[in-house]
Homo-oligomer: A and B are copies of this chain.
Amino acid sequence: MTAERKRPHTGRQRNEAARTAILDAAMALLGTARFTADEIAREAGVGKQTLYRWWPSKAAVVAEAMGRRARDIAPVPDTGTVLGDLREFLAETFTGAAEPANRNALRQIMASAQQDEHLAEAVAGFTAARRDALRSLLERAGRRGELPAGADLDLAVDQAYGVLWYRLLVGHAPLDRRAAEQLARALIASVGA
């Protein structure tokens, strides 16, 4: 898993390869016992100073890495119906988050964010983007007439991500397709009322 040992110097400009290697190493180590500044640097084949030159703390690296990964996350589907869209979106989101590697990373990020301001901001930004995605899905349904006009979508969105994070952090119940489907129906019922 260790990065290739050969990476050309880029002189006085920032070495993008080093930056990438650090972010990759940080994500690879997230959620493991080796999640250490020294280990991240070693894994990335980088001096520790290079890490601290560009990020104020280990947490900040994670914050950026998380933002980078956010792009790979479940896009808003378009199946033609709210139920279809919502079911699909939540299923993708739940199963993605429940994957062991992601699960550990997300848990540790949320945990660290409680004590690190940089990371708290990053988490706020990341979660806001995800909420926006879900909200846009629901708004489209409203425009289609599947949901009433004045519905409180923000609360519904928080109910969805609330279930996700609550189960992720406490671990008392599964995050699977079945849970996603039930939640999809429940949300539609509650918003539609």
Residue from B163, B165, B170 in contact with A123 in the complex, judged by beta carbons closer than 8 Å = B170
Task: Flag whether A136 is at the interface (Cβ < 8 A).
Answer: no
Task: Assess whether A155 is in contact with B127, with CB atoms less than 8 Å apart.
Answer: no
Question: Which of B115, B124, B127, B164 touches A162 (beta carbons < 8 Å)?
Answer: B164
A149-171: which have CB < 8 Å to B? 152, 154-156, 158-159, 161-167, 169-171
A77-114 interface code vs B (CB 8 A; 1 in, 0 out) = 00000000000000000000000000000011011111
CB pair B107–A114 under 8 Å, yes or no, is yes
Contact B111 A115 (CB under 8 A): yes
CB distance A155 to B163 under 8 Å? yes
Most buried by B among A156, A192, A193: A193
Instruction: Identify which of B162, B173, B192 contacts A154 (C-beta below 8 A).
Output: B173
A121 to chain B, nearest CB (A): 10
Q: How far is the CA of A161 from the CA of B168 in the complex (A)?
A: 13
Chain copies in complex? 4
Stretch of A63-71, A138-146, A181-189 at the chain-chain interface:
A181-189
**Once the chains bind, are A183 and B155 in contact (CB under 8 Å)?**
yes
B193–A189 CB distance below 8 A: yes
- Residues in B with CB closer than 8 Å to A166 are 158, 161-162, 165-166
- CB-based contact B169/A114 at 8 Å: yes
Query: B158 near A167 (CB under 8 angstroms)?
Result: yes
Tell whether A128 is near chain B: CB-to-CB under 8 Å.
Answer: yes
Are B124 and A155 in touch, CB under 8 angstroms? no
Question: B-facing mask of A169-183, CB < 8 A → 1, else 0?
Answer: 111110000010011
Q: How many Å lie between the Cα of A113 and that of B171 in the bound state?
A: 11
Q: Is A165 within 8 A of B158, CB to CB?
A: no
